[in-house]
Amino acid sequence: MDQTMPHSPQPTSSPGATILANPLANKGTAFTRSERSELGLDGLLPPAVETLDEQVARAYEAFRGYDKPLNRHIYLRQLQDTNEVLFHRLVTDHLEELLPVVYTPTVGEACQRFSEIYRRPRGLFLTWEDRHRFGEILRNRPHRDQDVDVIVVTDGQRILGLGDQGVGGMGIPIGKLSLYTAIGGIHPARTLPVLLDVGTDNEELLDNPRYLGRRARRLTGAEYDEMVEAFVSAVETELPGSLLQWEDFATAHARPILTRYRDRLLTFNDDIQGTAAVALGALSTAADVAGTPLSEQRLVLLGAGSAAIGVADMIRTAMIEEGLTEAEAAAHFWIVDVNGLLVRSRTDLTEEQRVYAREDSEVTDWASTSLAEVVRRVAPTALIGLSTAHGAFTEEIVRQMASACARPVIFPLSNPTSHAEADPADLTRWTDGRALIATGSPFPPLTVDGREVPVAQSNNVYVFPAIGLAVTASQATRVTDRMLVAAAHAVAQCAVRSADGADGPVPLLPPLSGMPEAAREIALAAALAAVEDQVAPKASEDALREAIAAAQWTPRYEV
């Protein structure tokens, strides 16, 4: 007698179950009766049929039911993995409230606890061992039948102000790309988050038995460069024309990578250029409010990393466009790092930092080159922080600045909130309400003269989604400085227009709730600059407006 057991049948999914497992095809309870019958969904869903609006209301109630920001973040990520249309519609409808949960500051904690809260794969993880197969791996991407409009890549080394998070850095590309969609209208199937896992030097992660990343020290030197080059080459071959955004790379790598590749493919670094463009937009509005032209501002920057130098470079470029020479524009900056003011005798400066180094003769009679002494000696009109040094803008420093400036511009831009150089409420109190403030992370509204005033958040969402939309619509082949400066000026113009006819002070930045609409104007400005720079085909303003509208995806169910 044959005792051989029959083969167990291989598990297969029904067509309906397959649809429900696809977050871009899944409508959940919004599938109609006829759709359920035609697609094999009968019995797989509760009987009720909801509209998208009803689903959004229910999802919003569920979101509000979680009291901890991280739990809210996890809920949103699970919703994104289940139903992309519903997720993006929810984010769009409640953008201002959900932005701090989808992205900074909550995304920082999500990165720190990535291995703990990991649920479902999204994007691509590339390792050193697979460097010769990156092209093949790019073909494994989700939605490989679609072209990719935007790639966001990180190596996880400098996540916000939290340092090396290794594989946990993947939370940043995922969060960024969800905003490319919610604000810029980039179709979610045409976005790709990428983590270059080059290892980690974070001892806690290396010692954590649940860490999901490559359990090795970070690659350095030639090996690191080889891996980045392998990735770029694979993108050039497999995804030519995609916008490649570099995100949260350490200072030692961020600028060299941007310099190496910016003239080779369509790419930019959001920490260097996006941060800079938003800061320039806020500064432009503040300069108008204060009555001091941009070209007459005296700027003290705390921090000399890639983001800070990027901000200085962008403002300097705008000053040059206003008629200053390169040397005249550079002379408007005093940059301070952990070792004090950048001066020419210092041997630890990079080429980019040295542009802003002051002559040693300027400081020979100074008591020190600390931030406090620089502010006392220079009497700046603007003080910008990108240092991650919490509380560095002390009461003494701020009061000193305010004593010599009627409308001091103070931007504590470090992320997350715990690393901000000052609290806006303190800045308002120390300057008797005269300070013009923008922050890097969200803060509660201020009370000035009995009026509640929102704190402008110098968030990169004002620029990077619009840049993605601009290059997609205009078919640009490069991202130029002129495009970013044009975007910055458009941000300032949107801020002024948002306050037209309203009581109270002019906001330094547009309201976040209106960003999907503002993104179209910012994208248009960048697209026009791309045409002027001859990195995009010739097109009229009307044609570009039409292309921008056509390129935007709206979160709604297909009938």
Q: How many residues does the chain have?
A: 559
- Give the other-Cβ count within 10 Å of 313's Cβ: 22
Cα–Cα dist 77/213, whole Å: 20
Alpha-helical regions (H) of 361-423: 371-378, 395-403
93 labeled binding residue: no
500 labeled binding residue: no
Query: Distances from the Cα of 420 to the Cαs of 157, 314, 525, in angstroms?
Result: 20, 22, 31
* CA-only gyration radius of the chain, Å: 25
Burial class (CB in 10 A: 0-12, 13-18, 19+), 382: buried
Q: In the beta sheet, which residues pair with residue 340?
A: 337
451 labeled binding residue: no
Q: What is the DSSP string of 37-84?
A: HHTT-TTTS-S----HHHHHHHHHHHHHT--SHHHHHHHHHHHHHH-H
List CB contacts of 408: < 8 A, sequence separation 6 or more.
Answer: 380, 381, 382, 383, 398, 401, 402, 431, 434, 435, 436
158 labeled binding residue: yes
Cα–Cα dist 28/39, whole Å: 12
526 within 8 A of 467, measured Cβ to Cβ: yes
- Give the other-Cβ count within 10 Å of 144's Cβ: 12
Place of tokens 């979680």: 66
Q: What angle do CA 246, 318, 172 make, to 5 degrees?
A: 20
Place of tokens 């030197």: 221
140 labeled binding residue: no
44 within 8 A of 17, measured Cβ to Cβ: yes
Say whether 176 is catalytic. yes
Catalytic residue, chosen from 27, 68, 75, 103, is: 103
Tell how strand 409-412 and strand 333-337 pair up. unpaired
Structure tokens, 248: 């949260």
Q: In the beta sheet, which residues pair with residue 245?
A: 152, 268
Q: In the beta sheet, which residues pair with residue 499?
A: none
- Give the other-Cβ count within 10 Å of 15's Cβ: 11
Cα 65 to its chain centre, rounded Å, is 27
Catalytic residue, chosen from 27, 176, 261, 462, is: 176
Q: What is the DSSP string of 78-139?
A: HHHHH-HHHHHHHHHHTHHHHHHHHSTTHHHHHHHTHHHH--S--SEEEEGGGGGGHHHHHT
Interhelix angle 95-102/171-182, rounded to 10 degrees, is: 160
523 within 8 A of 469, measured Cβ to Cβ: yes
Q: What is the DSSP string of 152-220?
A: EEE-SSS-TTS---GGGGGHHHHHHHHHHHHTT---GGGEEEEEEE-----HHHHH-TT--S--SPPP-
Say whether 103 is catalytic. yes
247 labeled binding residue: yes
Q: Which residues are catalytic?
A: 103, 176
Q: Which residues are annotated as a binding site for (S)-malate?
A: 158, 415, 459
| Annotated binding residues for a divalent metal cation | 247-248, 271
